[in-house]
Amino acid sequence: MTPGAKRFLTMLAFISPWILGFLGFFVYPLLLSLYYSFTEYNLLQPPKFVGLTNYVNLTEDSHYLNAVGNTLYFVVFSVPLGVLTAFIIAFLLNQQLRLRVLLRMIFYIPIVVPISATAILWMWIFNSNWGLLNNLLALIGIQGPSWLGSPTWSKPSLVIMQLWLVGGSVLIFLAALQDVPRALYDAAMVDGANAVRRVWHVTIPMVTPAILFSLLTGLIAAFQTFANAWIMTGGGPIRSTEFYVLYLYENGFRFFRMGYASSMAWILFGAVVVVTVILFRTSARWVYYGGEG
């Protein structure tokens, strides 16, 4: 056996759990949902083949196009802001602070507390009259908007809310920061690099694999954002927070249009694949893997 073949078989052996899972639980559902996307399917009666009708109808569905726009807005703002916020918090928490574990827990806890339990709190934070946010803004002389009531500000409100939920990325960055060899900082110090330069030239390059992970999983999740809008705004006001998967889900499970929902899912799938490929292609230039072989 050639070394190449041996390596291939070794790799297959290691990834065999996933291969089994993929063949067992993904291939059939993926193909079936692709088939549904060419049918009229209400989940209760057999699907009826309609060719490309669903895809054609999507191009004329103003609610769908609106949902695309809302989702792109959310992705563009929430993902980079989320990664940045998570990195800054992780960086602060990685200092030799007292009560480090407690602080880390505090940043993680908003993920643990269900949004359904805190929906009323969020309403109070964003309330235009007596809300916390507008009270703070008033301190610096700004009259805050009607956050959740305004079609202009409803999406920014949800982006801001999303920043509360970066605790997972914070932990990933913290784990990555554990791996930065002390020796590198020492070497940088010897070279006379100041704190900012040490962060820029040592810390950030060493955590780029975690940044790539956070960016990509953040993108995939943001494209599929659902729960916040479902619970907080129901897609309103005037469909300003009706996101892609919210609309998809309603079509599939409320409006008896699973075929239509499936065509939406496959367009989303295609779009996310493209974004991911681009991100991976460019990542070779900025992600540093200490162990890349």
CB proximity list for 245: less than 8 A, separation 6 or greater: 223, 224, 225, 226, 268
Q: Is 173 exposed, middle or buried (0-12, 13-18, 19+ CB in 10 A)?
A: buried
Containing 40, the helix (H) or strand (E) segment is: strand 39-40
Residues 10-49 that bind other proteins (CB under 8 A): 10-22, 24-26, 28-30, 32-33, 36, 40, 42-45, 48
Among 75, 90, 222, 245, binds other proteins (CB under 8 A): 245
Kindly state whether residue 155 participates in binding other proteins, applying the rule CB under 8 A. Answer: no
Kindly state whether residue 67 participates in binding other proteins, applying the rule CB under 8 A. Answer: no
- Using CB under 8 A as the binding criterion, the count of chain residues that bind other proteins stands at 143
Instruction: Name the minimum Å distance from CB 27 to other proteins.
Output: 10
Kindly state whether residue 178 participates in binding other proteins, applying the rule CB under 8 A. Answer: yes
Instruction: Name the minimum Å distance from CB 241 to other proteins.
Output: 10
Cβ(169)–Cβ(218) under 8 Å?
A: yes
Residues 135-154 that bind other proteins (CB under 8 A): 143, 146-151
Instruction: Name the minimum Å distance from CB 222 to other proteins.
Output: 12
**Would you tell me how many other CB atoms lie within 10 Å of the CB of residue 133?**
17
> C-alpha distances in angstroms, 229 versus 51, 128, 235, 246?
32, 19, 6, 8
Among 190, 254, 281, 285, binds other proteins (CB under 8 A): 254
> C-alpha distances in angstroms, 26 versus 10, 19, 22, 66?
23, 10, 5, 30
Instruction: Name the minimum Å distance from CB 77 to other proteins.
Output: 19
Whichever of 73 and 171 has its CB closer to other proteins, that residue is 171
Whichever of 73 and 205 has its CB closer to other proteins, that residue is 205
Whole-angstrom distance, CA of residue 123 vs CA of residue 232: 8
Whichever of 140 and 195 has its CB closer to other proteins, that residue is 195
Whole-angstrom distance, CA of residue 273 vs CA of residue 267: 10
Kindly state whether residue 192 participates in binding other proteins, applying the rule CB under 8 A. Answer: no
